[in-house]
Amino acid sequence: MRTLALDHGTVRIGVAVSDELGMIAHPLEFIPAEPLAGFLERLKKLVAEREVGRVLVGMPRNMDGSYGPAAEKVNEFVRQLRETFSVPIQTWDERLTSVQAQRMLREAAVKGAKQRKKVDQMAAAILLQSYLDAQPS
């Protein structure tokens, strides 16, 4: 079963997908967050095309593990996803995924505008890989 991961942002939402065995995460794309209807339409296509069985949404947490205002926005986003999709929607701790993605892109010598376009989907892939790695074999 494939899992699709979303790195929620106010401007762009990064998307990554697992392989069929649920072992390896692949960055896929980013989708503009607004308008929501456009985002949901694109996501519906991806879920159908990739035969996704689960959607994972990054849940922002403070470094002490508490939830802040960004988590409230993600909870609302998850509520909207659950109203739209029949596949299970689950959240997963996304602390530092964007920082890791930026570091990886810098190390790969990806600069400027190209880095901004790729950081969201890389963050989604890091989030997804951490989830996949935590699953029992």
CA neighbours within 13 Å on the CB side: how many for 14? 24
| 102: CATH | 3.30.420.140
> Over the stretch 1-39, which tens digit does the pLDDT of each residue have?
999 999 998 899 999 999 999 999 999 999 999 999 999
Give the domain range for residue 121. Answer: 2-134
Q: Which distant-in-sequence residues (6+ apart) come within 8 Å of 63 by Cβ?
A: 95
Q: Tokens 């035969």, residue?
A: 51
Instruction: Single out the residue of 82, 77, 90, 70 nearest to residue 36, CA to CA.
Output: 77
pLDDT on residue 112: 72
Is residue 100 over pLDDT 80?
no
Read off the pLDDT band of 122 (50, 70, 90). confident
Q: How confident is the model over 96-115, as a mean pLDDT? A: 69
pLDDT on residue 98: 67
Q: Tokens 């308008």, residue?
A: 35
Residue 68 and residue 96: Cα distance in Å, rounded?
A: 15
Is residue 111 over pLDDT 80?
no
> Over the stretch 51-91, which tens digit does the pLDDT of each residue have?
999 999 999 887 787 888 888 999 999 999 999 999 999 99
Q: What burial class does residue 84 get, using C-beta atoms within 10 Å of its C-beta: 0-12 exposed, 13-18 middle, 19+ buried?
A: middle
Q: How many domains does the chain fold into?
A: 1
Coil, strand or helix: which one is 57?
A: strand
Residue 77 and residue 81: Cα distance in Å, rounded?
A: 6
Residue 42 and residue 55: Cα distance in Å, rounded?
A: 14
Is residue 105 over pLDDT 90?
no
Residue 128 and residue 15: Cα distance in Å, rounded?
A: 10
Q: How confident is the model over 99-123, as a mean pLDDT? A: 73
Pairing mode, strands 52-59 and 12-18:
unpaired
